[in-house]
Amino acid sequence: MSHSKTIPLEGKLDGWTGGFDVPELLLAISEAGKTGRLEVSSAGVERRVFFDDGRIVFASSSSPDDRLGAYLLLRDELGLADLRRLSPGVRPGLRLGSLLVEQGILPAESLPGAVLGQVRGIVLDVFRAPSASYRFVAEAPRAIEAITLAGPPARFILDGIEAIRSWLRVARGVGPLDVPFESIDGHEESLRNIDLDTGSLELLAMLRHPRSLEEICASSELPDIAICRRLWAFRVLGWVRADSIAACSDEIDSDIEALGMILNDESRRRKKIDAC
């Protein structure tokens, strides 16, 4: 992967304005082999992603919605009555997961998978924040967590971008319709550790020769938004090149300006109605 500019270890993220976004930040920390925690604050919630030698190994959050109980409740793996009965018993040194196992509500062998799902969800939530402040704090590896995440950083980049619901952020990442994409030799080794879906493999195979975004969308059976998300991820990971994205941003800027005009017109319209 190549960065057009150095990504600082403290600052602000805002993919809407054309600055670097969450995928670039996480991959930069990973490729630098950093050990420590990345603190990301958005909308009053602080999420922390922990790295060990560049690998994402754990995550935590200040939001009650990111706790294990909420995660299991939303997946219909825990009843509301049990959650409310056991939650007051949670304290330092005694977590909800342990109480669920002790009470026979959750099988012991199911606890690691539940925790990993919860923690992985926190990492993906970091990708969803449209803007945030962040800082990376170097520290020794965490030794208190018995259950940690595994897998290559590329897997988190792929899944994280897939979780992004902002079209303007995706548009910034993929560029205008006439931007040519082409695969880069040497990324095959990275694919061996990642279980890519058939659509992604076919998309990479298609890019052995340069194709514009418009041509790719017309040729692939994947939905256009899925193609855009994957191409953004592939570009961040250094699997494909699209060198002219930064120089061809007028189309994306016009999309953003048009949205701003719509919002401003709506605001003015409401003010006129209120004044009548």
User: How does pLDDT run across 49-98, given as a tens digit for each residue?
Assistant: 999 999 999 999 999 999 999 999 999 999 999 999 999 999 888 899 99
Determine the average pLDDT of the residues in 100-122.
Answer: 94
Determine the average pLDDT of the residues in 5-26.
Answer: 84
State what percent of residues in the chain have pLDDT above 70: 84
User: Is a pLDDT exceeding 70 seen at residue 187?
Assistant: yes
User: Is a pLDDT exceeding 60 seen at residue 179?
Assistant: yes
Separation in Å, CA 12 to CA 6, 20, 42, 124, 130: 14, 9, 10, 18, 11
Better-scored residue on pLDDT, 9 or 254 = 9
Q: What is the pLDDT of residue 151?
A: 87
Task: Return the residue matching tokens 């995550």.
Answer: 59
Mean pLDDT of the chain: 85
pTM of the predicted model as reported, rounded to 2 decimal places? 0.83
Confidence of residue 143 (pLDDT cuts 50, 70, 90): low
Q: Who contacts 238 (Cβ-Cβ below 8 Å, separation ≥6)? A: 1, 2, 184, 187
Q: What is the pLDDT of residue 252?
A: 54
